[in-house]
Structure formats: structure tokens, C-alpha cells
């Protein structure tokens, strides 16, 4: 898909050419060559301020067949000293989205024009590949279709005068990260009647077949034998059978030092007996955003093939209400033997994750990250742009934070002091209380899961605020974001370097 050229050829055929323009910077060699073929139009328009240098502003310039390229997109980059990695994602996405809307198949990017002290060519190639994938993703709908043929970007040519070694590999890496995120988005956006636990297991099997992962799924009978009372209790209210989905990526000779991902796979959440309000309940198809993130990360890992062992575990069910549904006041027993008093059936994610985390440990995970759309409280605390985190191991938490900085997916660590843990022990009839109250709701929910991680280094990521995008932008349309897919994959890649 990606290729490199050092100089621009007037006869080179592209549907679009993308050139970045800083506020106070001369045109690059490639831009100057193109400007010459266009009789100085870029220079003239820039001088007369007809081309905006405002960051993210895309100005189309039609070539009128003076070169074998239909249109040039001049992308404003703002002040060079203010453009960071996140800003670069945005400007590449703005250009990619414009090219996608114009049904471009073959595009070119003057990569030198985006270069600054903050980003060298290899970084730019990664960000360009990632942003092109993210910006051109479209949510599948179920409306009547036209006969118009779908068109997507199939070829990208980077123009760079020097330092081109490794750029194709870097762009491929970024594109893999973007596509893994899009895979997660696709799953989140599927309606609950079409993505049941059974269908989610099929999606995982398809991923395993694609990348050669080991695949397994536990059925209800298997869970009963293993004593997975928490997951089974949540699933009782639904006619859909639960699944415990497992993927293994083994890059080492022995199955040790295993990085474990556990994703909440609640394919629809009504709240159960503690039923949710009707407003926006249709969005609860996204309650499997943690499972989607894990599968998206595994897709990236399958493409990148780091030299690490990775385990993915997805407890999956629906949270519905019928005559057999879990009731407030019920006492259930999790896989590791702990008893739980259910004070709130809408606090079900932590229940299925309890068995998921315990099972991941049984399968050999030596470090654990669970990802879940867990609490509404995290939106109150952090809004919709930052993921909340709880941990039992500061060193491992730092690894996760480093990965999140590299991918631009923000995480904020919440405290885990003893008074919060004590709140979980407030049941008169069981070891744990699944909903000790509104105070510190995101913290206690995370620490509840931590009770089942035990001494295993563990990080909990609450993506209830970040898994769904209600304000579409160039990087993500309305709907599932696929958040944390890239961070989890980057964590695996970084652990390869550590080892």
C-alpha cells in the first residue's frame, strides 16, 4: 500500500497530493517542484493569504491537468513549535478524511512538509499510516443501499528527499494500529441483536484463524464445572448463552511471562432487575467495548508479531431480566471461591470480570490488564476524553501509562488506599459487596476486580467515558472509538523491548 519516492514527477498519477504548510516556513523541495509545474500558484496563493495555515484547515487546489494529479490538498499546520504528535494525528486525519470523501484511491503525501523538530520522518510515517486508517473508517449502517461502488484509499506514495529507509515499515505499523482500532470500533457499533456472545465468539475465532492464534471457548457447562458462579449469575437473565472466550499468542518457546488482557464482553446491558433509564439505553450495545479493545489489540499484535506471550480472555454475556435473573440481595460464589452479595444488578461488569481475571490467572497470566466500560462515575470524574485506572502495582502501571502516552490515549491513575478497599467488605452476608455506594464509585468498582487479581501485577482501565464518541471528529465518527486497542498493543510491543 505504501511506497516512497524522493522527487516528484509531473507525470506521476495521483488522485490527490497532500502538502503541509506551516505558518512561517518555506516550501519543501517537493512542494517547490509542484509549484513550478503549476506556474507558482501555491506561492501566489500563500502570499495573498488565500491558503490557510490554521492547523487542520484543508484548502483544495485543483491542478487543471497541469500535472497528472487531480487536486492538491494544502493542510494548515499552524506554528511549527506548537505541533506535537496529537496535532499531527489531527492534521493527517483532516487530509485523509477529505481524500476519503472525494473517493480517492491513490494519494501522495509530501512527508517532508510535515517535518519538524518534534517529529522525524519515521514518526511521521507511523502517524500518517495510523491516521489514514482511523480517519477513513465509516460506521456500517443498515439503511437501504445505493448502487454506488465503495471506494477506499488503496495506495499511498510518500515524497521525501532523504532519510527514507524504514518509512514503509513505519507506515505499515501505523496502519496496523489504525486498522486494529477500527476492528474494535466495528464490533462496538454492531447492534446487540446481531452481536450476541455467540457472535462475539465467532468474531474472535475469525481473528484467531487470520493470525494463527490458539482459540478456545468455554460453554455454560464448562463454566459450571469450573465454578464460574459470577459470570453464570449475570447470564441467567438472558436467553443467550454466555461464553468465556480465550485467545493465545505464543511467541516464546515456553508459556511463561504471559501478558494477560481481560475484556468485558457484555454485548447488551439493560441493567437487569436494577434496570437502567430508557434514555440512551440503545447505546448499551457498547458495553462490550473492553472486549472490542482486547480483540483490536490482538489484531495489531497478530500483524506486528512481538516476541512476547499474550493471553486474551473475554467473559461474555448479556445482562437482561427474566424470571431467572439475578436479584438484588442474592449471594453468589465466584470462580476463586469468594462470595459476593449483589446489591445492584447493574454492577454486573465487575462480576463477569471477576471470573475472567481468575481464569486468566489459571491460564498462566503473570501480568494482567482488564478493560471495561465499567462505571458512569468515571464520566463524572474524568469526562469523555480520559480513561480511569486503578492498580496494585506501580511499576506495571508505569508501563501502561508509557504505552498510553505513545498512542495518545490518555489515562489517569486513581487512588487505591485502604479505606476504598474496606468499602468492598461491607456486606453482612458475603465476602464482598458488589456496589458499596456512590462514593468513589469508579475506584471501588476497579478494586473489586483487583480482589480477584490478588498479588498478580494488575491494572484496571475504566473506558466507560472514552469508548463512545458522541461528538464526531476527523479521527473518529459518532459511535465506538476502539479506545485502548492501541495502548494494549503498544504495551505488548514495549515489553518485547524490555525483555
Residue positions counted in the chain: 499
Gyration radius from the chain CA atoms = 24
Q: What residues contact 79, with CB distance under 8 A and at least 6 apart?
A: 22, 23, 24
Helix (H, G, I), strand (E, B) or coil at 460: strand
CB 329 within 8 A of CB 345: no
Helices 167-189, 485-498: inter-axial angle, 10-degree rounding? 140
Q: What is the 3-state secondary structure (H, E, C) of 329-390?
A: CCEEECCCCCEEECCCCCCCHHHHHHHHHHHHHHCCEEEEEEEECCCCHHHHHHCCCCEEEE
Strands 106-110 and 14-22, bridge-based pairing: parallel
> CA torsion sign, 375 to 377 to 381 to 384?
positive
CB 352 within 8 A of CB 298: no
Look-up of cell digits 466500560 = 373
Which residues are tagged catalytic?
276, 350
CA-based nearest residue to 462, from 381, 360, 361: 381
Helix (H, G, I), strand (E, B) or coil at 243: strand
> Residue 491 belongs to what H/E stretch?
helix 485-498
CA-based nearest residue to 498, from 404, 371, 398, 408: 398
Look-up of cell digits 474524568 = 382
- Distance CA(289)–CA(185), nearest Å, equals 8
Cell of 214: 490458539
- Distance CA(311)–CA(307), nearest Å, equals 13
- Distance CA(251)–CA(170), nearest Å, equals 22
Cell of 265: 464482553
Helix, strand and coil in the chain, % to nearest 5: 40, 20, 40
Strands 331-333 and 432-433, bridge-based pairing: unpaired
- Read off φ and ψ for residue 42, nearest 5 degrees: -65, -45
Cell of 317: 454475556
Amino acid at each position: 500500500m505504501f511506497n516512497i519516492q524522493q522527487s516528484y514527477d509531473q507525470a506521476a498519477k495521483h488522485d490527490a497530493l497532500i502538502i503541509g504548510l506551516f505558518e512561517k516556513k518555506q516550501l519543501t523541495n517537493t512542494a517547490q517542484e509542484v509549484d513550478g509545474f503549476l506556474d507558482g500558484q501555491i506561492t501566489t496563493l500563500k502570499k495573498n493569504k488565500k491558503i490557510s495555515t490554521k492547523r487542520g484547515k484543508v484548502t483544495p487546489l485543483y491542478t487543471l491537468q497541469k500535472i497528472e494529479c487531480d487536486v492538491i490538498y494544502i493542510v494548515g499546520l499552524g506554528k511549527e513549535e506548537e505541533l506535537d504528535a496529537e496535532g499531527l494525528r489531527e492534521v493527517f486525519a483532516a487530509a485523509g478524511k477529505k481524500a476519503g470523501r472525494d473517493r480517492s484511491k491513490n494519494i501522495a503525501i509530501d512527508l517532508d512538509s510535515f517535518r519538524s523538530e518534534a517529529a522525524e520522518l519515521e514518526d511521521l510515517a507511523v502517524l500518517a499510516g495510523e491516521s489514514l486508517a482511523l480517519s477513513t473508517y465509516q460506521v456500517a449502517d443498515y439503511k437501504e443501499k445505493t448502487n454506488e461502488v465503495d471506494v477506499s484509499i488503496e495506495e499511498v506514495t510518500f515524497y521525501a528527499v532523504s532519510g527514507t529507509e524504514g518509512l514503509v515499515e513505519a507506515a505499515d505499523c501505523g496502519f496496523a494500529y489504525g486498522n486494529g482500532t477500527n476492528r474494535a470500533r466495528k464490533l462496538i457499533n454492531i447492534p446487540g441483536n446481531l452481536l450476541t456472545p455467540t457472535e462475539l465468539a465467532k468474531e474472535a475465532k475469525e481473528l484467531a484463524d487470520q493470525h494463527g492464534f490458539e482459540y478456545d471457548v468455554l460453554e455454560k457447562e464448562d463454566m459450571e464445572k469450573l465454578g464460574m458462579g459470577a459470570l453464570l449469575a449475570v447470564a441467567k437473565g438472558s436467553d443467550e448463552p454466555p461464553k468465556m472466550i480465550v485467545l493465545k499468542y505464543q511467541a516464546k518457546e515456553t508459556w511463561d511471562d504471559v501478558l494477560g488482557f481481560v475484556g468485558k464482553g457484555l454485548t447488551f446491558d439493560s441493567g437487569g432487575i436494577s434496570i437502567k433509564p430508557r434514555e440512551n439505553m440503545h447505546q448499551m450495545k457498547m458495553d462490550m467495548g473492553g472486549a472490542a479493545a482486547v480483540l483490536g489489540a490482538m489484531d495489531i499484535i497478530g500483524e506486528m508479531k512481538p516476541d512476547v506471550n499474550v493471553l486474551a480472555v473475554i467473559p461474555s454475556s448479556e445482562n437482561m431480566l427474566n424470571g431467572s435473573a439475578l436479584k438484588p440481595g442474592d449471594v453468589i460464589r465466584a470462580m476463586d471461591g469468594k462470595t459476593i452479595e449483589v446489591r445492584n444488578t447493574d454492577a454486573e461488569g465487575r462480576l463477569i470480570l471477576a471470573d475472567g481475571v481468575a481464569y486468566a490467572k489459571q491460564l498462566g497470566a503473570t501480568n494482567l490488564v482488564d478493560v471495561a466500560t465499567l462505571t458512569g462515575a468515571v464520566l463524572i470524574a474524568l469526562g469523555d476524553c480520559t480513561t480511569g485506572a486503578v492498580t496494585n502495582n506501580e511499576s506495571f502501571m508505569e508501563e501502561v501509562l508509557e504505552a498510553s502516552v505513545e498512542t495518545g490515549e490518555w489515562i489517569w491513575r486513581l487512588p487505591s488506599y485502604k479505606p476504598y478497599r474496606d468499602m468492598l467488605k461491607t456486606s453482612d452476608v458475603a465476602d464482598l459487596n458488589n456496589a458499596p455506594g456512590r462514593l468513589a464509585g469508579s475506584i471501588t468498582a476497579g478494586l473489586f476486580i483487583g480482589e480477584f487479581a490478588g498479588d498478580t501485577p494488575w491494572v484496571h482501565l475504566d473506558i466507560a467515558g472514552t469508548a463512545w464518541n458522541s461528538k464526531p471528529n476527523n479521527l473518529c465518527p459518532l459511535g465506538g472509538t476502539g479506545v485502548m486497542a492501541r495502548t494494549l498493543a503498544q504495551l505488548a510491543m514495549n515489553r518485547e523491548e524490555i525483555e
